Every structure is written in C-alpha cells, then in structure tokens.
Structure 1
Amino acid sequence: MGMNFLHQLCCRSAYRERHSATNIVPWSLEGLDLGDNTLEVGPGYGANVTALRARTATLTGLEIDPELAARLREKRAGQLRVIDGDGTAMPMSDSEFSTVVCFTMLHHVPTPEQQDGLFAEAFRVLRPGGTFAGSDGIDSLPFRLMHLGDTYNPVPPATLTARLARAGFTDIAVETGTGIFRFEAHRPAS
C-alpha cells in the first residue's frame, strides 16, 4: 500500500507522532479501555506506539510493508511485537486480542472488498466482547492531493456501520470530525 515521498516524510515526522499522541489516538479511543492485548493494524512508522503503550499491557503491530516492519523492530524494540503481514489475511490466532485498532490507514487498502476483508479479519482475531476501533481521513481535495501517487481508497463514513455489521460487529458507532472520522465496533460477548 504505497505512499508518495512527501507523505512518507509527513508520516515519520516528530510532528506526526505528537499530533497522533495528543489528538488522533485520544479522540479515536475516547472512553475506551483497550484491555490487556492490543493489535494495531498498519502501524507504519510507529506514530501511535507510545500513546497505545500507555493504554495497554501488550501491543502488537501488523505491518504489510517489510521495510516499515523492520524499521519498527529497530526503532521501537521492546515497545511492541511486530509481525509482517496483511490485514486482510492476518497471521494471528482466532480470538487473540482484546482490542484491534487502526489509525489513518484504511484509505491505503486498495479496494472496498479488501477493506471488508480487513474488517472480517479484525472480527476473527478479537476475543468475544472485544473492540475494533480507530479513525481515518474523510475524502476531500486536500486529502486527495496529499495522496497523489499513493494507494488512495477512502472509506465513506456513511457506509461504515453497515460494512462492519456485515463482518459481525454490533454496537457500532461512527462519528465525523473535521476531516476525520472515528469508529468503534464490538464483537458480541457470546
């Protein structure tokens, strides 16, 4: 799931990590207890690692880009377990995680069908009663321009509730903010 050079610079910047830690993660996960074992799908350059580690005992990152996965292992050693893999075919056990999260990465999943596959996989690897949560950008001209030459397939927030329900989730909430939306969905307890 490619990113252009300027997008890469932005995503690996100290500003991005501060913005994520003080704005994106707190707003996206407001009021949510992550439990003891959290999976972040698509951690990229690791902007969310510090903020997530403060909220969970164990953090795993599933990263499709082998170079980013290797970078995470080197720069974030001891902070999270990094697994190379695709969110649409997660190499994890059923019911392994208390929470699955993803931030500003769903628009890099090439097709709606693959996004739905990621939702189904998030459901599969969650424990009963677990939560899938996160956020992503809302389609706009500035968001599109930032992604010139990238894989860019934004999720329309208005479609997300039905798509997550098809994957098996219940108690789904989707809320939009300025240029961003957040979601929370639950795997039924039984």
Structure 2
Amino acid sequence: MAMNYWHRLLCRSTAWEWVTATKIVPWVMRDIDLGASALEIGPGFGANVAPLRNRAATLTGLEIDPVLSARLRTRFGEELRVVDGDATAMPLPDKEFDSVVCFTMLHHIPSPAQQDDVFAEALRVLRPGGVFAGSDGLDSPLLRLQHVGDTYVPVPADTLADRLAVAGFTAIDVHTGRGMFRFRAERPRRPRPGASRSGAQRR
C-alpha cells in the first residue's frame, strides 16, 4: 500500500489533522454512536485519533505499516490500543467491537476483491447491531494526480451499498458530498438464513 512523499507530508500535517477533526469526522459520525469499543482501520499517522477518542470509551487502531504502528504507540500511549495487521485478515476476535470506522483509506487497498475482504472482516469483528462507518474520496483527475506513485483503487460510491449488502450488512446508507462520500451500515442482530459464520462471501 504505497504512499508518495507528498501524500505522507499531507497526512502527517497539522492542517490535515484540523480538517479531519473539524470537518471529516463530524460529517461521517453525524448521528452515529460508536459505543464503548471502537476500531479504526488504518489510522496511519493518527489524524483521527483525538476526535474518535472523544466518541468512544476505548479505541483500537489496526495498522498494516509497522513504522506507523510504532509511531502511533509512541504518540498516543494508552489512549490508543495499536494492533499490527492486515485489514483483509484481521488478527482480532469475532464480535469484539461496537463500531468499526475507516477514513479516506479504502482507496489504498490494492484491489476491489481485497476491499470486499475488508468489508467482510469489519462485519466479523462487529457485535450484532454494531455499526461500520467511514468515508472516502470521489474519483477525479485531481485525486489521481495527488496519488501518482501511490496504491490507488477508488471505490465507486454508487456500487458501495450493493457491496456492503453482499458482505452481510443491513441498514446501509451512502451519502455523496463535495469530493467525498460517507457511508454507514450495521451488522444484523440476527444472522441471515444460510449465512456463513462471518456473514459474508469470502474470497
């Protein structure tokens, strides 16, 4: 999941932290209760940690980059439980979290099939009735230019609801804003008839 030099500078900047804390996280989390235990997939440099910690009693971050994991542990200490791992095969128990969130990171997952694996894993680690929510950018020439040299696989907003439904989610809502979309979905309180243990079609 490569990220170019410019992109890394942006994601670790105080300006980006201000944008995500005051704009993105409040927009995505509107009317969403994260519950007692929340998981952020791909916290990266930690721009979302402070606003999320104000919304959940405990916060876990699942990070694939060991350098960023170490940086998160040093920076946040006991405020954030950091787990090293791949979101397509999370090293986490079933039904551990009340909520799972991710912000502007889905497009860094290398293929649509792996993105679907992430959706399946998010469902697996959620408790029944738990919420999966997040955001990502809408594909555009400018966004592609910003991601030159990155892993960049945009998620079409108009197909996301169907993909989340296939994974096993219900109460799905996808809302498009200026240059970005947000989504929310829930793990059903009761398994669907004939569903697998994870409730999703695994690849």
TM-score category (smaller protein): over 0.9
Aligned to 2:92, the other structure's residue is in SS state: coil
- Note the alpha carbon deviations across 1:55-75, whole angstroms, 9 max, x for none: 000000000011011100111
* Distance (Å, rounded) in 2 between the aligned partners of 1:125 and 1:85: 14
Distance apart, 1:100 and its partner CA: 0.1
- Note the alpha carbon deviations across 1:95-140, whole angstroms, 9 max, x for none: 0000000000000000000000000000000000000000000100
Aligned to 1:92, the other structure's residue is in SS state: coil
Structure-1 residue corresponding to 2:29: 29
**In the alignment, is residue 13 of structure 1 matched against residue 13 of structure 2?**
yes
Question: Which residue identity lines up with residue 74 of structure 2 in the other structure?
Answer: E
- Note the alpha carbon deviations across 1:132-160, whole angstroms, 9 max, x for none: 00000010011111100000001000010
* Distance (Å, rounded) in 1 between the aligned partners of 2:142 and 2:112: 21
Runs (4+) of structure 1 moved beyond 6 Å? none
Distance apart, 1:78 and its partner CA: 1.6
Show the 5 A alignment for 1:73-152: 73-152=73-152
Structure-1 residue corresponding to 2:164: 164
Aligned to 2:163, the other structure's residue is in SS state: helix
Q: For structure 1, which runs of at least 5 residues remain unmatched after alignment? A: none
Distance apart, 1:2 and its partner CA: 1.1
Fraction of identical pairs, as percent: 64
TM value normalised by structure 2 = 0.93
TM value normalised by structure 1 = 0.99
* Distance (Å, rounded) in 1 between the aligned partners of 2:17 and 2:86: 23
Structure-2 residue corresponding to 1:62: 62
Question: Which residue identity lines up with residue 130 of structure 1 in the other structure?
Answer: G
Structure-2 residue corresponding to 1:155: 155
Between the two proteins, the alignment pairs up a number of residues equal to: 190
* Distance (Å, rounded) in 2 between the aligned partners of 1:18 and 1:44: 15
Q: For structure 2, which runs of at least 5 residues remain unmatched after alignment? A: 191-203
Structure-2 residue corresponding to 1:4: 4
* Distance (Å, rounded) in 1 between the aligned partners of 2:166 and 2:123: 11
Aligned to 2:168, the other structure's residue is in SS state: coil
Aligned to 1:113, the other structure's residue is in SS state: helix
* Distance (Å, rounded) in 1 between the aligned partners of 2:143 and 2:76: 28
Question: Which residue identity lines up with residue 46 of structure 1 in the other structure?
Answer: G
Distance apart, 1:39 and its partner CA: 0.2
C-alpha RMSD over aligned residues: 0.4
* Distance (Å, rounded) in 2 between the aligned partners of 1:77 and 1:49: 12
